[in-house]
Amino acid sequence: MRTLLSLAAILAASAMLAGCFELKQDASLNPDGSGKAVVELTMPDMGAMGMSMGMDDKAPPPDPEVTLKQFAKQTLDDSKGVEAWSDVSFARTEDGRMKFKGTAYFKDFATMHVGQGQGGDGVFRKDDKGGMVLEMTMSEDEAKAPEPPAKTPPPSAEELAKQIQAQRLQYQQMRPMMEMMLGKMKVEMTFRLPGTLAEVSGFEKQPDGSVRIAMDGAKMLQAMDQLNADDAYVRQAILAGKKPGAEKMDPAVMEKMFGTKGPFRARVTGDLKPLFDYAAAVKAAKEAYPKMIEKLGLDKLPPATAPHISISPPTGPTAPENAPPAAQP
């Protein structure tokens, strides 16, 4: 399942979203990998932002009701691995952002991807001890074998000191922009699993037995500040040919934020019964979908003119294309 965001994806999207991106998901998984997720996605109205920034000052102002509906429809249409939707709603927040909420049903946790929202990779699989394991990778580095460092002569002590100083100067120059981009970003994922929770690493264990990850942009920036002030960390990163804390979701940043470099794991044992009847829920959702879309006014919309925003990492399995339920015969 595409879940948490790589740092590269966050920065690319936040440059347009001005740090106001919020994603919240509450997923229930069955032992066969099927499940449902209540998704809440909040982001700025890019059409309105374009007008306010003078990107197209000759065009008439977009109808806020139409752009809100286009945002909701685009979220549904761009989702992959989703077999059905139910309980869809959308609204404007007090600060003018657009908020989408709905329940997505998916056959395979590993390929579910909600349009415009996420990045990351995860699996829910059986283990060799009779239990099941939810495992999430949090960076590109975890999803592929590490590349051997380039064979170049190590810099002299004087040159290395200059590179460290240059790196810190560059970071301080970039920091105001990163603060603007990351300051209000929030991503929260909750997973409800069958069986009894036996082992947890990285996830927060909740009182009701679920596990949770919460990513806060301000805390991420704080972790990056700490690492860029660490002589040993900056030195090691430079010698490895990396830009400390800025290229991607650095495992060191993850460790600062969550206490582990990953992957995040939660293992369940015992009676692994389905949490809900997937087939019955999907059947009901598909039957109700056309009337829901008509009632929401999403059946007859002009083409979206606001920039499309989709946050996805360049690694991990690609989910198959999947048309929205209403488009299926």
In the prediction, which pLDDT does 54 show?
46
In terms of phi and psi (left: phi > 0; alpha: psi -120 to 50; beta: otherwise), the region of 146 is beta
pLDDT tens, residue by residue, 59-107: 667 788 999 999 999 999 989 899 999 999 999 999 889 999 999 999 9
Rounded percentage of the chain residues whose pLDDT exceeds 70: 73
CA dihedral sign, ordered 145, 6, 37, 114: negative
Q: Mean pLDDT for the chain?
A: 78
pLDDT tens, residue by residue, 28-64: 999 999 999 999 999 888 655 444 444 455 666 778 8
Rounded Cα distance, 119 and 135, in Å = 15
- Tokens 């929401």 sit on residue: 296
C-alpha separations of 179 from 19, 169, 212, 217, 220 in Å: 8, 16, 25, 8, 10
- Flag whether the pTM goes above 0.85: no
In the prediction, which pLDDT does 304 show?
63
Task: Tell me the pLDDT band of 131, cut-offs 50, 70 and 90.
Answer: very high
Mean pLDDT over 116-134 rounds to 78
By the 8 A CB rule, do 312 and 9 touch? Answer: yes
Q: Which amino acid is at 181?
A: M
In the prediction, which pLDDT does 149 show?
54
Mean pLDDT over 152-168 rounds to 85
Q: Name the more confident of 283 and 252.
A: 283
Whose CA is closest to 45, among 21, 25, 10, 77? 21
pLDDT tens, residue by residue, 179-212: 877 777 888 999 999 999 999 998 999 999 999 9
* Tokens encoding 181: 């981009």
Q: Which helix (H) or strand (E) holds 55?
A: none
By the 8 A CB rule, do 275 and 27 touch? Answer: no
* Tokens encoding 125: 């699989």
Rounded Cα distance, 293 and 301, in Å = 11
Rounded Cα distance, 52 and 29, in Å = 42
Q: At what angle do helices 217-228 and 7-17 cross, to 10 degrees?
A: 120
Rounded Cα distance, 26 and 190, in Å = 5
Q: At what angle do helices 157-182 and 7-17 cross, to 10 degrees?
A: 50
Residue ranges covered by each domain of the chain: 7-312
